[in-house]
Structure 1
């Protein structure tokens, strides 16, 4: 299934794509794709519906992030060897775990806003997974049954804040609008998560091309690893690292500027498109 949330920010409704790729309204069958609304039982109920008979969503509806009411937004850093090399960092022996704030999540086509004092704003196309049920001390062999679905994340980062201001990476990862998610949440039965192509363009110029086949740590391992240190709840989001091609790795970095357009996609998970806008209150 390709699940979607549509409508104004903060008032999104749950939907599902039909056989023709049109959004059908699911609000008569589930309140939202959030917390218990992502449980295996709830998703099994939705899978059994005749989606072609559901009401249509408005053609011009805004697409929101595919999961609502997120409590925890976890990032995995340096998970592609070639990205670690371009950043001048060692390949980690264990996953690098950091936090993004849930309130930086926006829809896949919403504007990305420059923070105050921006110097080195960067892009990162990433595969993210969304938790469907409480996960603690999960074995790798069992990990996939805890995942409600997969989506695209643009892990927007401010490298000066992240790497040059000392302390935690969170300072460069949690700025307002730095977490575009979506457009869809695709259930695991429709995703070959071990071999997905990823790409990202800025102003029509290809910057990133990669494949999840080159990940250092695979999805089941990452989920299992994280749950050895913290409990993940239904609706939590984990984004899994980026392939090479970020501005940080360029000899002459082309940092994002106001007016730039970022377009990115992952096989089977759709595409995003954001415009970078100046800071505003």
Structure 2
């Protein structure tokens, strides 16, 4: 794993945002409810600054559909399955990719059948650290991942908090299709709040993230990265070569502008979308 010979996640396939050419995959938002209290959650940040995310489709009804980016969809129970089955039957989307922290492990087998890709967010496996980070224990999330057929494990790099995640994940019964390593996007006071839990200052150093990712590889995991992150590094690499004559990406701090937490895209209300789907 050297410089930009970095494999990108299956979730990024077909995403216009992967090369900075447009917005990311359209998203289906069903609820903003979530039992987890993650200090780095941009959905919570959006709520805190008064952004209202209504149920519905954000973006054009084509390509890959992400479900969802705001809230924990599995709290809906059977309703989530019913909606996704309806969406699947229309054939509007090439793929349905689910993002979840796996609050309802009992839903995992059925969701594995409906969705093309199930991404389970796991940042820590240690019960005590998980409670400090997310407000609840990891049991539901880990069981959901075990019950999922070849899940993609999404993991944020949080040095000082989850340095031992590669070992922790290897000690579980989870059999992931990939480990999707992601950098922290510092919405609001995320960094400040995470430092109270133990986050170290090198959370945004590219080389530190890559070293952590290599630990997953040592346990035999297929490690992948966000395509938009890799593209940003590629652009930076080109600038360094042109302006400095050398490239040293491993010591670069990746500090993106988090932008707005509001989903500023074409919006189709959920009821209107469902009415169209059943026609």
Instruction: From the two aligned structures, give the one with the greater helix fraction.
Output: 2
TM-score norm. by structure 1 comes to 0.25
